[in-house]
Each structure stands twice: as C-alpha cells, then as structure tokens.
Amino acid sequence: MRIILIGPPGAGKGTQCQRLVDYLRVPHLSTGEMLRAAVRAGTAEGLAAAHFMAQGQLVPDPMILGLVTKRLEAADCRDGCLLDGFPRTLPQAAMLDDLLDCRAMSVDGVIELAVPRDELVHRMLARKREDDNPEIFAKRIASFEVQTAPLLDYYKRQGKLASIDGLGTADEIFNRVREALRRLKRDSYQG
C-alpha cells in the first residue's frame, strides 16, 4: 500500500509512522528526515535547505521533488511506502500524482492525525528540537494550516481520506490508524 500520513507539527506523526512501517512492512519516506540527514552530512542540498528549515519555512519544491523521486524509484518502494511530510502543498500533491502516474502507481490512502492547536503548543513545550522554539513552531503550524490543510480536501474528494483523532496514548491512536487502514482498503475494493 502507498499511504500518506498528514498531521500538523507535534501531532505525533513520528511515533505512528514507526508503528505503521512495521505493520505494513513498507519503507518510511520522511522528507523532513531526508533533509535533516542532508544537513547533518553537510551536503550542498543540506546547506541550501538548512536556512528554510531553521525559519520554519518550506524548502523549495525542486529539491523536495529530487529527494522523493530518487527514493520512490528505489526497488524497496515498488510495493508500497509510507509518505510522511510529503506532499505538503497542493502543487506537491499534483507532482506526486504525476510522478506515480508515470510509473503506473497511485496513492492508496491518506490518514490525517487531527490534533487541536492548543494541544500542539503544549506538546511542543514539552519536547526539544532545533526548529521547535515557540516562534518557529508557530510558523510551522501556520504553514500547515495555510499550505498543507487544503490537501485534506483534495484527497477527501478522491475518497482517499481517513481522519482520525490524534489525542490519546500511542496505542489508542495506532488502533485508530489500523481501523482507518481497514476502511481505506475496503473502500478502495468497492471502487
């Protein structure tokens, strides 16, 4: 299965992605992780991306597309993958559709982890990451609301969206994720 997990910063995507890749036995494609690895390695791409990431802004599409295309073409992604952090904008979603279309592939389902904004801020204050200072975090949330949230409607119209409550323990949320997968599978069989 080719699944996208969408949620605002601090929604707990990382934890659920780890569980999902074990459950689905597919590779985890996190553009944020790929970019952080490039920054750590000090590559030209990493240097170019670091500035945007530190400001809580999106990295330009050509770089993201390059990373994702290379990864999607790898043999281990042939039977599926879990996309995390991509697509993040409507143009990126269109690019992904094109990329998959050309390879006779498609997105099977999109799972939204829904968490209220107050809870996100509360969680952010309890954890520590470089791009987590309150001002930058607020920018990342705003970027989610303005640029990424429209994707929910995009996939809903295609009948591919399953929204789940992102509040609760990791186990409770993962049970909802599994239930959402079952629904998506059933609906895709019914066409």
Question: Which C-beta is closer to ligand AMP: that of 10 or that of 109?
Answer: 10
Angle between helices 134-143 and 117-126 (to 10 degrees): 140
Question: Which C-beta is closer to ligand AMP: that of 14 or that of 80?
Answer: 14
- Determine which residue in the list 35, 39, 110, 115 makes contact with ligand AMP, applying CB under 6 A: 35
Per-residue x/- mask for ligand AMP, residues 86 to 125, rule CB under 6 A? Answer: x-x---x---------------------------------
* Contact range with ligand AMP by CB under 6 A, out of 18-26, 58-66, 109-117, 181-189: 58-66
CA angle 11, 48, 103 (to 5 degrees): 70
For the chain, the DSSP string reads: -EEEEE--TTSSHHHHHHHHHHHHT--EEEHHHHHHHHHHHT-HHHHHHHHHHHTTPPPPHHHHHHHHHHHHTSGGGTT-EEEES---SHHHHHHHHHHHHTTT----EEEEEE--HHHHHHHHHHS--GGGSHHHHHHHHHHIIIIITHHHHHHHHTT-EEEEE--S-HHHHHHHHHHHHHHHHHHHHT-
Q: Is 52 in the site for ligand AMP (CB under 6 A)?
A: yes
Residue with tokens 């553009």: 31
- Determine which residue in the list 64, 115, 141, 151 makes contact with ligand AMP, applying CB under 6 A: 64
Q: Is 148 in the site for ligand AMP (CB under 6 A)?
A: no
Question: Which C-beta is closer to ligand AMP: that of 117 or that of 182?
Answer: 117
* Contact range with ligand AMP by CB under 6 A, out of 55-63, 71-79, 113-121, 154-162: 55-63
* CA gap 20, 14 in Å, rounded: 10
Using CB atoms, what's the residue nearest to ligand AMP? Answer: 32
- Determine which residue in the list 21, 58, 121, 167 makes contact with ligand AMP, applying CB under 6 A: 58
In the complex, least distance from residue 174 CB atom to ligand AMP, rounded to whole angstroms: 19
Residues that bind ligand AMP (CB under 6 A): 9, 31-32, 35, 52-53, 56-59, 64, 85-86, 88, 92, 140
